[in-house]
């Protein structure tokens, strides 16, 4: 028994094992997944028609980006009714049918909970803005202007994530309201107890209706420093500065999350929090630590922000393999040693495609790159997230993608601001367009590519955003037929995790030769001594690299073998300590020590 004064007794191994830790999640972006009625917009019936494709891949959970009523200023992250469904996606009855169809396949449904803000068209905000004395006034954050030299200014210098000030002046009541994102996305005021209460009702309603959990949008931003002070100048070129010090992981965040966690625990519901701006695992551990009973896990942004430059997301930065190794090792070891949990991802609806950003998307190495990244993700501890199209190795938009093809408010606002400030600077414009093709959120929002028929089989109508031109060759139908495809490689990775959960899901992590300039190698050791250890070797270069198995790698004692590789000839081979291995371009392999 742990000593009484030990406030954090070592939890029993069995109490650390959970269904949501061993699950993998397939993320569906409803607008771009499958259009069943030819209006060019994906919909819920379209998702239902493709559930067997998701099941066959081996995923356990389906996460839908927001499907609730919304004017779609930010693709549904501006919700106008949490109890209604965006009409082009379908009806509440369609969601019921989807939940039943998912459950009948033994999978679970996760919905996207966006409660840091609503749409400005939500009835709550329409009431709130109508008058100073309206009962809903305090459901949002309203502040008086600041006057300097007779000029009216916002209450502080905070920047919106979508450009400009995070405050918009409302003539009718002569006050500003806060919106960390678009002006059409006013932030809810969680200090007003009626707001958390309303959110708890929404959570219970959808859990009672068949959802099995939630992804929680920018959930670490819901508690703000009520002084609303000016932010330090971190971007001298702009009048607006990041106020993250005053709203990321704010003073009452864990109070709010503990209340939500109590409800989720009643339902044994799945939860993953999106935590922007957080690079400190200790901060995330406060929410995801064993026994904290707040949320199961959280997305951090350290990896996906590696290529973000100094001034903003769209300024260039070259990341290094050593950075990727350090970040992965940091989060793997911290959460393992502190009984926390990781959400493992490289792609989602906000990120460019990983083969283009972190490997090589040219015709020679795209497939091998996609399998290499699948190996990196699949062999880490944490819950694994696969975003639609990632299982096919879809790349970013092509070089000839014109600016008119973009739909995302974040990209379009950036372009408008750039043109306004630098109308005659073609080189700046070209740099921006190059950065959009690398990091714009639309890279992952082009329609899912089902087959080689027009519009990639996504829609018989005009898609809301153009289909990537490579669909005739790169599509699900072709890959499901090809046992050597990226799709089937992902399926094998998901199976390998299930078969070796003790090693790959729950085991420890240690880098091998951290300073190697080209190879990312690591060892996974099981939590139970009867399970095998694994050595994962990844050549992140599009050329041959000779790699020597370090003498210290005890995994490579006799009797082990390569069980998975994107070079089939490698499978079955043994490795010996100090042995030299010639790795092909973007080669990945998983070696298991002998099964005891």
Q: Calculate the alpha carbon distances from 584 to 354, 369, 513 in Å.
A: 20, 11, 19
Task: Show contacts with ligand TEU in window 129-158 (CB under 6 A).
Answer: none
HEC-encoded secondary structure of 197-244: HHHHHHHHHHHHCCCCEEEECCHHHCCCCCCCCCCCCCCCCCCCECCH
State the catalytic residue, choosing from 112, 217, 513, 587: 217
Helix (H) or strand (E) holding 265: helix 253-267
Cα–Cα distance measured from residue 277 to residue 220, given in angstroms and rounded to the nearest whole number: 9
| Residue 41 binding partner per list ligand TEU, Ca ion, none, with a CB distance cut-off of 5 to 8 Å that depends on partner kind | Ca ion
77 near ligand TEU, rule: CB under 6 A: yes
Report, in Å, the least distance between residue 161 CB and ligand TEU.
5
Report, in Å, the least distance between residue 66 CB and ligand TEU.
9
Contacts of 274 (CB under 8 A, 6+ apart): 215, 216, 217, 218, 219, 220, 298, 299
Residues of 504-523 as b/e, b for ≥16 C-beta within 10 angstroms?
bbbbbbbbbbeebeebbbbb
DSSP string, 46-101: HHHTTHHHHHHHT--EEEEPP-EE---TTTTSS-SEEEEE-GGG--HHHHHHHHHH
Neighbours of 20 (CB within 10 A): 21
218 near ligand TEU, rule: CB under 6 A: yes
Give the residue, chosen from 63, 142, 181, 206, that forms a contact with ligand TEU under the rule CB under 6 A. Answer: 181
Report, in Å, the least distance between residue 91 CB and Ca ion.
13
| Residue 39 binding partner per list Ca ion, ligand TEU, none, with a CB distance cut-off of 5 to 8 Å that depends on partner kind | Ca ion
Give the residue, chosen from 82, 124, 136, 161, that forms a contact with ligand TEU under the rule CB under 6 A. Answer: 161
Read off the DSSP letter of residue 582: E
Neighbours of 379 (CB within 10 A): 27
Read off the DSSP letter of residue 455: G
Asked whether the beta carbons of 19 and 271 are under 8 A apart, the reply is no
State the catalytic residue, choosing from 274, 350, 367, 502: 274
Cα–Cα distance measured from residue 412 to residue 164, given in angstroms and rounded to the nearest whole number: 13
| Residue 217 binding partner per list Ca ion, ligand TEU, none, with a CB distance cut-off of 5 to 8 Å that depends on partner kind | ligand TEU
Residues of 79-116 as b/e, b for ≥16 C-beta within 10 angstroms?
bbebeebbebbbeeebbebbbebbeeeebbbbbbbbbb
Taking the CA atoms of 270, 271, 272 and 274 in sequence, report the sign of the dihedral they define.
positive
Contacts of 103 (CB under 8 A, 6+ apart): 109, 210
Report, in Å, the least distance between residue 375 CB and ligand TEU.
25
Give the residue, chosen from 35, 43, 60, 74, that forms a contact with ligand TEU under the rule CB under 6 A. Answer: 74
43 near Ca ion, rule: CB under 5 A: yes
Q: Calculate the alpha carbon distances from 368 to 364, 390, 399, 490, 493 in Å.
A: 8, 13, 21, 12, 14
Task: Show contacts with ligand TEU in window 297-326 (CB under 6 A).
Answer: 313
| Residue 43 binding partner per list ligand TEU, Ca ion, none, with a CB distance cut-off of 5 to 8 Å that depends on partner kind | Ca ion
Asked whether the beta carbons of 484 and 368 are under 8 A apart, the reply is no
| Residue 588 binding partner per list Ca ion, ligand TEU, none, with a CB distance cut-off of 5 to 8 Å that depends on partner kind | none
| Residue 129 binding partner per list ligand TEU, Ca ion, none, with a CB distance cut-off of 5 to 8 Å that depends on partner kind | none
Question: Would you say 24 or 444 has its CB closer to ligand TEU?
Answer: 444
184 near ligand TEU, rule: CB under 6 A: no
Report, in Å, the least distance between residue 218 CB and ligand TEU.
5
Give the residue, chosen from 25, 114, 285, 555, that forms a contact with ligand TEU under the rule CB under 6 A. Answer: 114
244 near ligand TEU, rule: CB under 6 A: no
Candidate ranges 16-24, 38-46, 342-350, 468-476; the one touching Ca ion (CB under 5 A): 38-46
Give the residue, chosen from 17, 22, 39, 326, that forms a contact with Ca ion under the rule CB under 5 A. Answer: 39
Asked whether the beta carbons of 107 and 59 are under 8 A apart, the reply is yes
Question: Would you say 51 or 114 has its CB closer to ligand TEU?
Answer: 114
Task: Show contacts with ligand TEU in window 394-433 (CB under 6 A).
Answer: 410
- Mark whether 274 is an active-site residue: yes
Which single residue brings its beta carbon nearest to ligand TEU?
77
Question: Would you say 243 or 560 has its CB closer to ligand TEU?
Answer: 243
Report, in Å, the least distance between residue 269 CB and ligand TEU.
20
- Mark whether 217 is an active-site residue: yes
Query: By rule CB under 6 A, what string of x and - marks binding of each residue 332-371 to ligand TEU?
Result: -----------------xx---------------------
Report, in Å, the least distance between residue 394 CB and ligand TEU.
18
Which residues are designated catalytic?
217, 274
Residues making contact with Ca ion (CB under 5 A): 35, 37, 39, 41, 43
Residues making contact with ligand TEU (CB under 6 A): 74, 77, 114, 161, 181, 217-218, 274, 276, 313, 349-350, 410, 441
């Amino acid at each position: 028994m742990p000593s009484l004064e030990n406030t954090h007794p070592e939890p029993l191994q069995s109490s650390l094992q959970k269904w949501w830790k061993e699950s993998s999640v397939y993320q569906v972006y409803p607008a771009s997944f499958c259009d069943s009625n030819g209006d060019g917009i994906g919909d819920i019936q379209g998702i239902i028609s493709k559930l067997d494709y998701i099941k066959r891949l081996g995923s356990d959970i389906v996460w839908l980006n927001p499907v609730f009523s919304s004017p779609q200023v930010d693709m549904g992250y501006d919700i106008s009714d949490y109890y209604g469904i965006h009409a082009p996606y379908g009806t509440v009855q369609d969601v019921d049918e989807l939940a039943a169809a998912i459950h009948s396949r033994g999978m679970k449904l996760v919905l996207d909970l966006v409660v840091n803000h609503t749409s400005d068209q939500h009835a709550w905000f329409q009431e709130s803005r109508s008058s100073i004395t309206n009962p809903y006034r305090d459901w949002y954050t309203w502040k008086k202007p600041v006057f300097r030299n007779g000029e009216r200014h916002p209450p502080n210098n905070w920047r919106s994530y979508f450009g400009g000030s995070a405050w918009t002046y409302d003539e009718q009541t002569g006050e500003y309201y806060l919106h960390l994102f678009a002006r059409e996305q006013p932030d809810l005021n969680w200090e007003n107890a009626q707001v958390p209460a309303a959110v708890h009702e929404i959570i219970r309603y959808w859990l009672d209706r068949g959802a099995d959990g939630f992804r929680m949008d920018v959930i670490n931003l819901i508690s703000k420093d009520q002084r609303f002070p000016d932010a330090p100048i971190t971007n001298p070129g702009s009048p607006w500065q990041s106020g993250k010090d005053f709203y990321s992981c704010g003073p009452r965040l864990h109070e709010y999350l503990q209340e939500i966690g109590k409800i989720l625990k009643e339902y044994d519901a799945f939860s993953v929090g999106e935590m922007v701006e957080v690079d400190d695992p200790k901060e995330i551990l406060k929410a995801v630590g064993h026994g904290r009973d707040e949320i199961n896990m959280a997305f951090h942004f350290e990896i996906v922000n590696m290529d973000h430059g100094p001034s903003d997301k769209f300024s260039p930065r070259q990341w290094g393999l050593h950075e990727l190794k350090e970040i992965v090792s940091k989060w793997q070891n911290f959460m393992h040693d502190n009984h926390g949990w990781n959400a493992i991802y490289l792609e989602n609806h906000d990120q460019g495609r990983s083969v283009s950003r972190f490997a090589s998307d040219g015709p020679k190495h795209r497939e091998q790159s996609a399998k290499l990244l699948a190996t990196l993700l699949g062999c880490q501890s944490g819950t694994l997230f696969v975003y639609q199209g990632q299982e096919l190795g879809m790349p970013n938009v092509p070089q000839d993608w014109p600016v008119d093809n973009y739909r995302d408010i974040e990209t379009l606002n950036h372009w408008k601001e750039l043109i306004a400030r630098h109308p005659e600077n073609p080189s700046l414009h070209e740099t921006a367009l190059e950065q959009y093709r690398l990091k714009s959120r639309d890279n992952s929002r082009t329609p899912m590519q089902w087959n080689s028929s027009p519009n990639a089989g996504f829609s018989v109508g005009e898609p809301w955003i153009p289909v990537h031109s490579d669909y005739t060759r790169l599509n699900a139908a072709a890959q499901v037929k090809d046992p050597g495809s990226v799709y089937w490689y992902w399926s094998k990775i998901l199976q390998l995790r299930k078969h070796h959960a003790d090693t790959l899901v729950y085991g420890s992590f240690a880098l091998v030769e951290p300073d190697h300039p080209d190879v990312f190698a690591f060892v996974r050791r099981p939590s139970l001594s009867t399970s095998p250890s694994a050595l994962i070797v990844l050549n992140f270069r599009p050329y041959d690299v000779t790699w020597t198995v370090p003498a210290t790698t005890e995994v490579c004692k006799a009797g082990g073998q390569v069980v998975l590789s994107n070079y089939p000839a490698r499978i079955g081979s043994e490795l010996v300590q100090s042995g030299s291995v010639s790795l092909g371009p973007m080669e990945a392999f998983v070696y298991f020590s002998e099964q005891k």
